[in-house]
Structure formats: structure tokens, C-alpha cells
Structure 1
Amino acid sequence: MGMRWSWAVVLLLLLPRAGGAQEAITPEDFDATVRRLEEAISDKSPGEEEEGEAQPEEEASASATADSTPPWTNLLRMDAATLTLLPRRSEGTAEGFVQVEPMVALGQGESVRLILGTPVRLRLWGGGEGAGLVRKEDWDTLSDWGQVVRLFMVGGDTPNSVWLGMMEGYSLLSGHLVRRYGNRVNPDYHPAGVIATGTLGPVYAEAFASDVLSARLAGAEVALDMQHVLFGRPPVAGRYTLALSAVHDWGRVGGTSRPMTLAHLDATAVVLRRGRKGNRVEAHLLVGWGGRPGEGGAWGAVAGVGVDALTPTVDLRARLEGRLQRGGFRQGAFGPDYELARFQVAGPAAVPLAEASFPEGASAYGEVILSWDAVRLSGMRQRHLFLSLGVEAFSWGRVDMDGRVEAQLFHRDLSLGVGGLATAMGQPGARYVVSGEARWRFLGGNLYALGQGGTLLFPTPEGTLRPGAFAAVGLGVDNAR
């Protein structure tokens, strides 16, 4: 879950471009894109379409005369880190590692991205008798080899796209089954997920799998543009939609658990739309109903409102919902805590999620995702401030919250990030996971100091969660500036 920052001891070289064509993305721009695309799911899932920002007239005229096919951009990076894993209780022993992390990144415009690289942790001390040189928990299943692919994307933000890599903060379209999900919350399980989107006439579909190398969590949502169906192609698509989603967990890999299936039906109506492209505001109403197929009495309902606002410097998405839960069903069951809850839910009942009896009641859910930059950075995902926060308060006294905030200060020389997950607050057995990271560039920006630390929860063979902590510090060199 974090443990990626490290210090580099190898100089980086930028691969030469062929033909000397004008670069569409400068090295600094590309480095920013690399870092943001690694967390692209937490920013905007591929299923959430976003109109591109309007370009200034000078940029538009320049692009009209430029080559329509952007050149390939390449980046190499090698990091080496000190990493310490510490138990928070008497069980387990402390471990120390040198973490080496090579990375190769390739990109062409906004439509193609490939980032390869993964941390390899070489043991310095600890781990008990028989511990090997390489931390075995990082490579003991086929799924762990998925971590080599940090990102592969074709299609970008277009309706037809494919995305492969780490999932963090992922929501499946309406978000009422899969909401803010991360597939690497379990620190010993490192799969690569896949997301595919496509459109055909009035139909838009998104499908995903949390692990491309094993049978784990998978699902899909199909949305139908009702205005298109009833009255022909509308001037603006997606104003009135009806969507059906289903998600199934086979319960294998990363520790076994009982299989679970959920389904949901959603209706959405856009009631306000102002502006266009780079400067617009949109508001929508939504209602939905879901359940667990094959289990009578397990159902839930939801109603709410959402707002999207986009300007040249601000991208804001907010949602407020009222929810009803019955018979053990809950919206967002595949959420930020799922990869831990599938072993042991937070709260007084220390059982797996599929066996837990979720109390009947109601809840209020709110979410805000904000990106802000002091200057217009068209096409870049580097931002002065990024905030993502989700909170759900239940009528019977429980509160769940997860969020992340990132900031860049002092001409982007200092980058800070803090994230956290708090589950079942107000109940016995509440669960908390936090992490933070910092990067400070100096000597022209090519050299940087960095550090990272936080808490972890390790699943055990007995199905419980063993608490731990991590810390990493170091230096690095790259060609971002």
C-alpha cells in the first residue's frame, strides 16, 4: 500500500527521440503525467467521460499546423530505497530491506501509455530463520507478477479504451457496487487489474477485473441512453440513462474467502448543464436499487444528487446520497476497505465480509474529488492541490471515511501526500490505516530527497489481520527537469 518512494543511486538517461520531431510532451510534463497516471483511477475512472479543455487560440492554431501524430516520449528511472517493516504488536519481527525499483515509461500523446517497473526488496536483516534474500510475500503467487505492469493504457479518456495496472480509488460507473476500491490494500498481494470501456449506439459499457492473472473480483455495468433509444441520437449524449451492474468475487488468491455476488439498477437524469468543454457545470439526480442474487431479503435503495464543475484551473466532482440497507446488503460493499474486510470486517464481529450480518438501517454518503492548479496546465495531470474524500454515516452509529490529499509547493519543488482509511468509527474494533509521503527537489530539481511512512494490516493464514508499520527514506535522481 504505499512503500513506493525510494532513493536513487543510478543516473537516469532520457532515450533519444527519433527524427528530431517537435516533442508533444516535455520531460517535465511527461514525468508529471507518469506520476498522475499511476493514480489515474483515483482521479477519474475511464468510464467517467470528461470533455477536454478548450485550448487557447494560439495553441489551437499551432496544433492545426502540427503533425497529427505525436511522437513517442520515453523515460527511464532507477530508484534504490531503505525500507523498514515494523510489527505494531508483539507478534512478528522487524525487517529491513534495500528496495530497488527500476522503471521504464513510454507514451504517445494522450492516448497511449506504458509504464513498467516494480520494487524488488532485498533483505538486510530480520524475517526469522530461513528468510530469503528477496521478500517472498511479494512474489509467492502468480498474481504478484502483475505488479511489473504499473500502467498500460490505450484510448485515454475516449469512450473506447483499455486500462491495465494498479487500481486505487476505482469506481465502476454509478459506483453503487464498486466505490473507491483499491486492489493492493493487502500489502502481500500485488495484482494488476484491467478496465475496458466501449460504446455502440445508445449503449455504453464498462467491465473490469481486479486481477488479470487469477479469478478474483470482476464485474460490469451497462448504461443505456434512454433519450437516444426513444427519440434518436440527441445533441448531447447521456442526459437520461438507465444502467444495470453486477459484480462477483470468486474469493480466490490473496487468501481465500467465500464467493459473493451483488447487482444494482440505476437511473440518472441530468437536470442542469451550463457552459461548454473547458468551462462547464453539470448537476444530475439519481435513484437506484440493488441486492444479492439468490438471497431473499438482501436489498438496498439509494437516491441522491451529483455536481460536476470544470474550469481551466479547477475540476470538481461532488455527490450526496441517502441510502437504505436491508438483509445484509450495502451499497459500495466493494470499497476501499474490501481487500481487508474480505478476511475480517471492521467492527465488533471479527468475521469475513461475506459472512458478516450488516445491520439494517439507513446512511448518508458524501464524496468530493477536487483538483486545482494556480495556472492553466492543459493536458497535464500535475496539480498544486488534489483532494479526494468519501464519508458515509449510518443511522446506527457507524462512520466510514477514506481520503487522500496531495499538494505541490514552492514552485513544485516540494510534494506532499497524505492518505487514510477509517472504518467502523464509533464501533468497537474500528480500523485505521494511514500513510504519508514527501518529495523535495533541490540542485535544479534533478536531485530529490524523499520519505514515506504509515501503517499496514497483513492478512494471516488464520484469517485475521496483523497490524504493522513501514518507513522509507532516501534520495533520488531523475530527468524530470
Structure 2
Amino acid sequence: MQRMRSWFVSLLLVLPGVAGAEEIADPPPPEEEETVNLLPPEGTVQPLPLEGETTEAASVPVDPSTRWASLLRVETSAWALLPRSGMGTDEGYFQVEPTIVFERGEEFGVNLGAPLRLRVWGPKDGGVVRREDWDELSDWGQLVRSLKLGSDNSPLGVWFGKLDSYSLLSGHLVRRYAHRANPNYHPAAGVLTGTLGPVYVEAFSSDVLGARLMGAEAELDVEHVLFGKPKQKGRYTLGLSAVHDWGRAGGRAASVTLAHMDAVAVLLVRPGYEAHVFAGWGGRPGEAGAWGAVVGAGADVLTQTLNMALRLEARRQHGGFRQGFFGPDYELARFQAAGPDGVPLADAPFPDGYSIHGEAVVGWDAVSYGGLYKHLKLSLGAEAFTWGRFDVDGRVAVQLFERALEVALTGLAAGAGKPGARYLGAAEVRWRFLGGKFYALGTGGTLLFPTTEGTLRPGAFASVGLGVDNAR
């Protein structure tokens, strides 16, 4: 399946995460499988993109194979942390966030920048700069928002930066994962992709500076093996994936290992449309009786103005295994899983049963879908279990008034319908004025902070500020 085989790392630049302040202030990767470039196709007129912001207007035509593109930006804002449920103290900061982007075609791109928070009020022993943003080696990874070497057409590709709503190929182990859901942990991830004959491999590390989540998935093109190189790659594939969390960065937590096998068949291919079916089985090595099975179908639609991916799965869980174990809530659940038990996810009981999982990723633009700038971006994943639990996470962003105004909402509910359910949400508004060079922004939402005791302390954040760039 071409969509499952595309170079996943090149698209990880736009969609904000669900639970962290940084994910709102520093928007990341889109879920659409499209190449993220500052340079538009030759002969077209497109704006210069930057992580997740889709309010820029048209720029000058450039040749993506020979020209450099760049973007410079500075944001200043007041950023406040607020306690919830009587836990914690107020903290206020003056935040400065510079950004610099350079890109040349599809083969090279670099995006550098990070928020610097200077304390205005709060605990006097906290220092001038917010200590939690830079108190471990992994936090220095936030300086690299994106660094890509190679493209979708390269036999080898490397990408470093921020993961958000990331899925490892089939997505049955790592699905919609956000590695900065913990607001005090700011790692840089690394993704390596490679193709050799009928074999395609994707490997990733959620933290290139610390021993954390690592995994890989290898896909074998069965048609290529049996009948030689096919006209369309990846129509019939067998895949094997394994993921291990070392649990030694971003706070100590129990290690865990999962593995999964998948078979995928693309049954229908039409211009702008593709449909496929799949089945798989997985488990937890070393854990007797921990296994799960899945069957499902998916469809991808790509037109001039619409890019849509739909997926529906029927799942079976047994002995504590579940598909999508490393999901959008994992960086918090590794300390305390949603539910009444109050234990880490690696030790939390998970009832045997069945579930239905659905996912929709939609991008629509009234003008043309050829780029990151869309009037509507929607990403939604939901799972309903036969024993009464319901999980959902998503983001929706819309552009209004000739792209001068963008409004984005994100949310997560884990364990809804059962005691100890977890709910998080955030909102962001950006408004460009004075020809688009200047913009005002406001963000706010809820947070959960892991503590040394292994619990989660509730909090909230709010920010208002101004920015200037050369995107228009």
C-alpha cells in the first residue's frame, strides 16, 4: 500500500499535540502523508510553511530543485502556569521564541528554535529561566524542531525533530503517539527509513539523547518476491514490528516490550482513490497469555482539494495486551494510567474483550491541496470497548477571512465511561494583520505534570502574545 509505504518522516512538521503547552505554542507534524517542503512545485505560487501554521499567503515562485527557501520568525508572549484542584502555585513567564528555517527541495531541510521562558512571578527558588525546560540532556533536543536528509524517493532517509500523532507504519503498536505530552520533557526524535529490493524498513527513537522508546517495523513486498518488481509497490505486504521502552529518560518508569505481525492487501486502486484490508496479531514477549488480534479496512482519497484517510478496525485484547499501546496518552500513562488503579500503564490491568477503533484524517482547501495551507484540517481517533470504556483524541483547525484567522482545538479523553477517566484540552487562535507580517496569538488549555511520587499533578496554561515573520 503506497500510503503505508511513503516516507513518513517528511510529514512530521505540523500538528500540535493534545496535552502540552509546548504542543500548542510550537505546532508540529500533520497526519496527512504529504511531503512537507518550504519550496512549492515548480511554476506554482505558494507560501513558506512553518510547523502547523497555515495562515501564510502566497509567496514567490521558486524552483524546488535549485533554490533555497528560508523563514525567520520571533514570537513574544506572556505565558502562565495555573494550578488546578488546589495543587501547585501560580507561575508567570515572559516567553521569547525565535525560529529559523532553511530548506532546499525535498532532500534537505532544517528548522531550529525553542521557547525561552524568563520568570516574572512564582517561586523565588525556581531561577530566572524555567528550570524544568532544560534540566536534563533530553530537553536540549527541543532546539531542533526538524532536520531532514533525503526524501520519499530516496533509498535512505533520516529525520530528527518533534513527533506528534506519529504512527509506526501499520500503527498497531505505535499509533497517534506524542512524545512531548509530558510538559516538562522536550526530547528530539529520530526516524530512519530505508528500502532494499522488496524490503522497506522504518525505525524510530522517541528520544535521540536518552534511553526511551525505540522500535522498528519491516515490510516485505510479497508480489515483488514472487513475481519480480511490480508496477505499484506495496500492494501485498507482510510486516513485523517490535517496540521497547527503556524508561530511563523523561522520568523513570517501568520498561515494556511489544511485538506485532501484519498482512496488508490493497484491493482497489483508482486515480485519486485506494482501498485496502489488513489483519494482524501481536503480544508482549515474556508475558504468557498477553496477545491481541485485529482485522480491518481503510481507504485513502486524494483530489486537487481533498486529502482524506479513513480506517476502521475490529480488535481483540487478552492478558493485558492492547493495540495502540504507545498512543497519544502514553507519555503520561507510563507514570499513571487512566483508570481507578493509579498504577503505571505497564502494570495496569486491562480487561479481556473486544473493541472497535476508527480513525479519520482530513485535509481540505477550497483553492488547492498542494501544500500545507488548508482551510480545514481534522484528525480524529476513537476506540470503544465492549466492557464500557471509550477513548478519543483529535484536533481540528480552520482558516477564516482569507486565511488571516486560524482557530485550532485539541482534546483527549482516556478511559471515559469508567472511574479515573482522563480529560485534556487546549485551544489556539492566531490572527494576522498589517499585511500578514505581524500576528497576534492566544493559547490556553489543561496539563498534567508527572511528580517524583509517580502521580500526575493537574495544571493549566494560558498565553497571549505577538509575532513577526517574513512568511508573507
Give the TM-score normalised by the residue count of structure 2. 0.88
Q: Partner of 1:322 in structure 2? A: 314
Q: Does 1:258 align with 2:254?
A: yes
**From 176, 188, 195, the counterpart of 2:191:** 195
What is the alpha-carbon distance in structure 2 between the residues aligned to residue 217 and residue 461 of structure 1?
20
Counterpart secondary structure, 1:467: strand
Tell me if the contact between 2:240 and 2:261 (Cα under 8 Å) persists in the aligned partners: yes
What is the alpha-carbon distance in structure 2 between the residues aligned to residue 148 and residue 28 of structure 1?
27
Classify 1:304/1:216 alpha carbon distance in 2 versus 1 (closer, same or farther; 3 Å). Answer: same
Which string of whole-angstrom CA distances, capped at 9 and with x for unpartnered residues, describes residues 430-467 of structure 1?
A: 00110110101112111211100000000000000000
Q: Partner of 2:109 in structure 1? A: 113
Counting only pairs closer than 5 Å after superposition, residues 207-222 of structure 1 correspond to structure 2 as: 207-222=203-218
**From 295, 298, 304, the counterpart of 2:290:** 298
Q: What displacement does 1:36 show?
A: 3.6
Counterpart secondary structure, 1:429: coil
What is the alpha-carbon distance in structure 1 between the residues aligned to residue 447 and residue 124 of structure 2?
23
Tell me if the contact between 2:42 and 2:64 (Cα under 8 Å) persists in the aligned partners: no
The one-letter amino acid of 2:133's match is D
Q: What displacement does 1:367 show?
A: 0.1
Q: Partner of 1:45 in structure 2? A: none
Q: Partner of 1:177 in structure 2? A: 173
Q: Partner of 1:34 in structure 2? A: 50
Q: Partner of 1:406 in structure 2? A: 397
The one-letter amino acid of 1:445's match is G
Q: Does 1:313 align with 2:305?
A: yes
Tell me if the contact between 1:23 and 1:71 (Cα under 8 Å) persists in the aligned partners: no
Classify 1:85/1:239 alpha carbon distance in 2 versus 1 (closer, same or farther; 3 Å). Answer: same
Q: What displacement does 1:3 show?
A: 4.1
The more displaced of 285-294 and 438-447 is: 438-447
Tell me if the contact between 1:305 and 1:320 (Cα under 8 Å) persists in the aligned partners: yes
Q: Does 1:283 align with 2:264?
A: no
Classify 1:389/1:6 alpha carbon distance in 2 versus 1 (closer, same or farther; 3 Å). Answer: closer
What is the alpha-carbon distance in structure 1 between the residues aligned to residue 160 and residue 188 of structure 2?
7
Classify 1:6/1:342 alpha carbon distance in 2 versus 1 (closer, same or farther; 3 Å). Answer: closer
Tell me if the contact between 2:447 and 2:458 (Cα under 8 Å) persists in the aligned partners: yes
The one-letter amino acid of 1:29's match is P
Counterpart secondary structure, 1:130: helix
Tell me if the contact between 2:24 and 2:426 (Cα under 8 Å) persists in the aligned partners: no
Counterpart secondary structure, 1:230: helix
Q: Partner of 2:446 in structure 1? A: 455
Q: Partner of 2:72 in structure 1? A: 76
The one-letter amino acid of 2:324's match is G
Give the TM-score normalised by the residue count of structure 1. 0.87
Counting only pairs closer than 5 Å after superposition, residues 106-145 of structure 1 correspond to structure 2 as: 106-126=102-122, 128-145=123-140
Tell me if the contact between 2:291 and 2:321 (Cα under 8 Å) persists in the aligned partners: yes
Q: What displacement does 1:2 show?
A: 3.2
Counting only pairs closer than 5 Å after superposition, residues 359-370 of structure 1 correspond to structure 2 as: 359-370=351-362
Q: What displacement does 1:23 show?
A: 11
Q: What displacement does 1:475 show?
A: 1.7
What is the alpha-carbon distance in structure 1 between the residues aligned to residue 314 and residue 23 of structure 2?
37
Q: Partner of 1:92 in structure 2? A: 88
Q: Does 1:395 align with 2:386?
A: yes
Counterpart secondary structure, 2:223: helix
Q: Partner of 1:247 in structure 2? A: 243
Percentage of matched positions with identical amino acids:
59
Counterpart secondary structure, 2:346: helix
What is the alpha-carbon distance in structure 1 between the residues aligned to residue 241 and residue 199 of structure 2?
13
Q: Does 1:342 align with 2:334?
A: yes
Q: Does 1:230 align with 2:226?
A: yes
Tell me if the contact between 2:171 and 2:324 (Cα under 8 Å) persists in the aligned partners: yes
Which string of whole-angstrom CA distances, capped at 9 and with x for unpartnered residues, describes residues 400-428 of structure 1?
A: 00000011111100011110111000000
What is the alpha-carbon distance in structure 2 between the residues aligned to residue 35 and residue 337 of structure 1?
22
The more displaced of 368-377 and 178-187 is: 368-377
Q: Partner of 1:42 in structure 2? A: none
Tell me if the contact between 1:25 and 1:109 (Cα under 8 Å) persists in the aligned partners: no
Which string of whole-angstrom CA distances, capped at 9 and with x for unpartnered residues, describes residues 207-263 of structure 1?
A: 000000010000000000001111111111111000000000001111111110000
Q: Partner of 1:2 in structure 2? A: 21
**From 320, 324, 332, the counterpart of 1:332:** 324
Tell me if the contact between 1:318 and 1:367 (Cα under 8 Å) persists in the aligned partners: yes
Tell me if the contact between 2:43 and 2:63 (Cα under 8 Å) persists in the aligned partners: no
Classify 1:209/1:37 alpha carbon distance in 2 versus 1 (closer, same or farther; 3 Å). Answer: farther
The one-letter amino acid of 2:375's match is H
**From 410, 431, 434, the counterpart of 1:440:** 431
Counterpart secondary structure, 1:452: strand
CA RMSD of superposed structures (Å): 2.0
Q: Partner of 1:381 in structure 2? A: 372
Which string of whole-angstrom CA distances, capped at 9 and with x for unpartnered residues, describes residues 105-127 of structure 1?
A: 1011233210000001000001x
Classify 1:235/1:213 alpha carbon distance in 2 versus 1 (closer, same or farther; 3 Å). Answer: same
Which string of whole-angstrom CA distances, capped at 9 and with x for unpartnered residues, describes residues 336-366 of structure 1?
A: 0000000000011100011111111000000
Tell me if the contact between 1:71 and 1:109 (Cα under 8 Å) persists in the aligned partners: yes
Counterpart secondary structure, 1:322: strand
Q: Partner of 1:471 in structure 2? A: 462
Bigger Rg, structure 1 or 2: 1
Counterpart secondary structure, 2:209: coil
- How many residue pairs match? The answer is 433
Q: Partner of 1:146 in structure 2? A: 141
Q: What displacement does 1:26 show?
A: 9.2
What is the alpha-carbon distance in structure 2 between the residues aligned to residue 121 and residue 332 of structure 1?
34
What is the alpha-carbon distance in structure 1 between the residues aligned to residue 455 and residue 23 of structure 2?
25
Counterpart secondary structure, 2:92: strand
The one-letter amino acid of 2:364's match is W
Classify 1:440/1:227 alpha carbon distance in 2 versus 1 (closer, same or farther; 3 Å). Answer: same
Counterpart secondary structure, 1:391: strand
Which string of whole-angstrom CA distances, capped at 9 and with x for unpartnered residues, describes residues 288-332 of structure 1?
A: 000001111000000000000100110000000000000000000
Q: Partner of 1:11 in structure 2? A: none
